[in-house]
Amino acid sequence: MVKKRLIPCLDVTGGRVVKGVNFVNLRDIGDPVELATRYSELGADELVFLDITATVDGRDPLLRLIEHMSEELEIPFTVGGGISATEHARAILRAGADKVSVNRAALDVPGLLEELEYEFGAQAVVCAIDAKRRDDGSFEVVTHGGRTPRGIDAVEWAQEAVRRGAGEILLTSIDADGTRAGYNLELTGRVCAAVTVPVIASGGAGTAGHLADAFAVGAEAALVASIVHEAPERITVLKRELKEAGWPMRI
C-alpha cells in the first residue's frame, strides 16, 4: 500500500531559501541543499521548491541549485514557480528535478499541460491550483497569490487539468494558507473525489491532526511549510503521530 506523504515546501530565490509574508520582508533562512538534506534525514518524503521570483531575476541560479540538489538529495523533489513553457520544464527536469509544478501558465498557455505530459509523462507534471471560497460555498481558481479571481470553478479546473495531462494536483486553499487552523477539508475533499490522480493538500497545516484530516478526505500527501521551517524536527514527530493514529507512513 502506498504511504501517505509529508512534503515540506521551501521558497527559494536567487539560490537561497527565504521566508517572508506576501513577498515582502524576505528573510534568508538558509542554504537550500543543507536544509533539504536535513529535512530528508528527518523523514520528509518529498520536497517542493517554489522559486518565488523566477519570473523576475532569471533562471540560471535556479538551474545550478537544482543540479546541486539532484546530486545531493536522495528523495524526490518538485520545482515550481513561473514555469510557462515546455523548454523551461525541460531545463529544470534535465537539471535533475523529478517533477515540475505549473500554476498560472496551465491556465494561460493553451496546450502546455498536454505538451508536458507528452514530453515527460504525467508522473512528472504537477498542476498547482490556488482556490478561494465564494459566498455560495463553491471554490474559485485564483492566481497572483490570491489577488486575481479567474472565474473558474476549482473542482472543474482540477478535472480538466487531469484530462489535459497533470499527474498530480497541488491544491492550496488561499483562505487557509498561513492560518495554521487546518487544511480546507471541503475544498480538498471535493477535488479528491473529482479526480483520479494523487492530490496534495496545502494551506493551513498546524498539527498532525490537520494532516490526518486531509488524508481522511482523500489527500495522498500534505504540504507543510512554516511549522517545519521553525522546527525541522517536527517532521519526525508529525510522521510518528500520524503512524500511531493508524495512517500508513514511511518511518
Give me the active site residues, please: 11, 130
Residue closer to other proteins by CB (options 130, 168) is 168
52/156 Cα distance (integer angstroms):
26
User: Dihedral, CA atoms, 234, 129, 154, 114, nearest 10 degrees?
Assistant: -140
Amino acid 204 reads G
Which pairing describes strands 24-30 and 168-173: parallel, antiparallel, or unpaired? unpaired
Residue closer to other proteins by CB (options 60, 71) is 71
Closest contact distance (angstroms) between CB of 117 and other proteins is 9
Q: Binding residues for other proteins, per CB under 8 A?
A: 1-5, 40, 45-46, 67, 70-76, 93-99, 118-124, 167-168, 196-198, 220-221, 250
20/154 Cα distance (integer angstroms):
27
Residue closer to other proteins by CB (options 50, 93) is 93
Residue closer to other proteins by CB (options 111, 178) is 111
Residue closer to other proteins by CB (options 92, 142) is 92
Kindly state the cell numbers that stand for 58.
532569471
